[in-house]
Structure 1
Amino acid sequence: MELTINHQQKFFKEAAVSLAELMQWEAPGKSKGIAVAVNNQVVPKTQWASTVLQDSDSILIITATQGG
């Protein structure tokens, strides 16, 4: 399966993964301050486990940072 994550193509052996699984690989240990959009649609965290990603999906992961 090929996914575009933050404008970079990545390949996965699995034919289908949930958004929750992907987030465990892409942002391990992070659960707060993250927003995710799949194909330009924001997916609430409560729906990550039930959102199955398809080949060629585009995922945008935004992480809040502190600064000043």
Structure 2
Amino acid sequence: MSDERTAVKVTVNGALVVLEGAPDVTALLTHLGLPDCGVAVAIDGMVRPQSRWSELVPADSVVDIVTAVQGG
């Protein structure tokens, strides 16, 4: 058995991101330097509620991340 992790490609907000192994949403946000609060995440057009962020993001997914911004 190999310790190597398979590279996983996902598209995040239109940009290709390559990761070592399939991440969950929290790990993806951390990798991107984004907070885990004040954001909404959709995977392949379906909003993923925070209660399901521990589920893995499938390879070749299209991920949209929207951050909340204060202002008027």
Cα-Cα RMSD: 1.2
For structure 1, list consecutive stretches of 5 or more residues without a partner in the other structure: none
Per-residue Cα deviation, 1:4-59 (whole angstroms, up to 9, x for no partner): 000111111x22211121112221xx23221000010000111101x211211010
In structure 2, runs of 5+ residues without a counterpart are 1-7
Q: If the length of structure 1 is used for normalisation, what is the TM-score?
A: 0.83
- Runs (4+) off by over 4 Å: none
Equivalent residues, number = 64
- Normalising by structure 2, we get a TM-score of 0.79
Instruction: Provide the identity percentage.
Output: 28
